[in-house]
Amino acid sequence: MRFSFTPEQEEFRTSLRRALEARSPTKEVRRLMATDQGFERDGWQKLNQELGLTAIHIPEAYGGAGFGQADLAIVLEEMGRGLLCAPFLSTALAANAILNAATEEQKQALLPAIAAGEKTATLAFSEDDGGNDAEGVAMTATQSGAAWRLEGSKSFVLDGHTADLIVVVARRPGSQGEDGLSFFIVDGNSPGLERKRLKTMDETRKLARLTFNSVEAKILGEAGAGAAPFAKTMQQAAVLLANEMVGGAERLREDALAYTKMRMQFGRSIASFQTTKNKAADMLVDVELAKSAAYYAAAALDEGDDELPALASLAKACAAEAYLQTAIHAVQMHGGIGFTWDNDTHLWFKRAKSSEILFGDANQHRELMMQHWKH
């Protein structure tokens, strides 16, 4: 296992960070998060095409750049740091689902437009109970001739109200658990599909509820064989989100530290108080450990590590605790101003909170990790 980034990866990270700092200052984040869409299509397409972001992990055979999930994880870490308002995580997850579930022909047909940034996409798996495994899928898919029809609803769908393509997990009527699951693809503008944006606590992360009234869909891969690719897609999702989270946590930690050095009370900077220094040291420990776990799990994605299920949950649980704790400390270190809307800390605090829950909270992932632990 590698424990460092290659010089090329470091260089890529540096240029990406610079681009995001220029394109997505918090003023811009605040402007976009207040919009219904949550992003601007033109601006995002331009940035994406310049940097080739949605192409990173897509193989060259499907119009991508052919890098790995670990490189995708770097992009997410930097986006977590910069809080970029764009349908990137949603599109990356949908592309992973297609890579995991679809036939060769379907990949050829679907992935080039995603890689080129011409189409945004998302993955719809959760329903009203917010579940993220096979048990939580109730939506049914029935075949009539060559076409399939989807009936039911999905919720908490990332960028679900704006995505051009929606990858949906649904089941054969009457089936249960891992049995009878299949992946489908639906056009965002399909007749019978109702999309409603949900009002989110974390305004930088847009979610939607989708209602399918006999919506026509194409099946991806083989009918009923969706359980394994679904599990794999969710493991990838946990690892990628963990990397996004450690990027945000590090930014919060750095900003809070810088503030304590500047803030004067009792005639000295508050960074000179041991109680502040102790907290700052503990924050560094939390963030560095979470980074190590996120990086290790990201490397495991590409190496086909058979411990991936345990590692993915480990990384997600570790990042969840570290990010939220860092956010709590960061508000505290800012004092009163940290609780104001005008101060930027709350943007990341809310991202920490939404990320803690998305794709399963720390309790769920610790339990999953124990179920998969091999030692």
Partner 1 sequence: MSEETENSVRAEVRAWLEANWKPDYGLVEWRTKLIESGWGAPHYPKEWYGRGLPVHFNPIVDEEFARIGAVGVAKAGIRTLAAATILDHGTDLHKEKFLRRILTGEDTWCQLFSEPGSGSDMAGAVTRADRRGNQWVINGQKVWTTSAHKAHWGLLLARANWDVAKHKGLAYFILDMKQPGVQVHPLKQMNGHASFNQVFFTDAIVEPEMMVCDVGDGWTVATTTLMHERRGADGLRSWAQASSRKGRIYEEEKAEIASTMEPYKWYPQRAGRVDLVMERAKATGKFKDPVIRQEIAKLLIMSKAAEWTARRARAAQEQGKPQGPEGSLGKLVSSNVARQAARVHTYITGADALLTGEDSPMGGVIAEILVSVPATSIAGGTDEIQRNIISERVLKMPKEHSVDTNKPFKDVPRNITAKS
Binding site for partner 1 (CB under 8 A): 2-4, 257, 260-261, 268-269, 271-272, 274, 276-278, 280-282, 284-285, 288-293, 295-296, 314, 317-318, 363, 366-367, 369-370, 373, 375
With respect to partner 1, which residue has the nearer C-beta, 123 or 293? 293
- Quote the least distance from Cβ 183 to partner 1, whole Å: 30
Smaller CB separation from partner 1, 207 or 257: 257
Nearer CB in complex with partner 1: 18/277: 277
The position carrying tokens 């949950």 is 313
Whichever of 57 and 366 has its CB closer to partner 1, that residue is: 366
Rounded to the nearest whole angstrom, what is the least distance from the CB of residue 232 to partner 1 in the complex? 21
Q: How far apart are CA 256 and CA 234, in angstroms?
A: 32
Tokens describing residue 227: 């359980």
Quote the least distance from Cβ 340 to partner 1, whole Å.
24
Whichever of 86 and 293 has its CB closer to partner 1, that residue is 293
CB 13 within 8 A of CB 78: yes
Within 10 Å of residue 308's Cβ, how many Cβ atoms? Answer: 20
* Angstrom distance (rounded) from CA 76 to CA 91: 12
CB of 3 to partner 1, least distance (A): 4
SS3 label, residue 145: coil
Give the type of residue at 370: M
Nearer of residues 239 and 280 to partner 1, judged by Cβ: 280
Three-class secondary structure of residue 298 per DSSP: helix
Kindly tell me the burial class for residue 318, based on how many C-beta atoms sit within 10 Å of its own C-beta (0-12, 13-18, 19 or more): buried
Pick from 208, 201, 212, 200: which is nearest to 169 by CA? 212
Distance CA 125, CA 160 (A): 11
CA dist 326 and 338 (Å) reads: 13
Least distance between partner 1 and beta carbon 355 (Å) = 17
Tell me the closest approach of the beta carbon of residue 197 to partner 1, in angstroms.
35
Based on CB atoms, which residue is closest to partner 1, 201 or 262? 262
The secondary structure element, H or E, covering residue 156 is strand 147-158
What is the smallest separation between the CB atom of 17 and partner 1, expressed in angstroms? 16
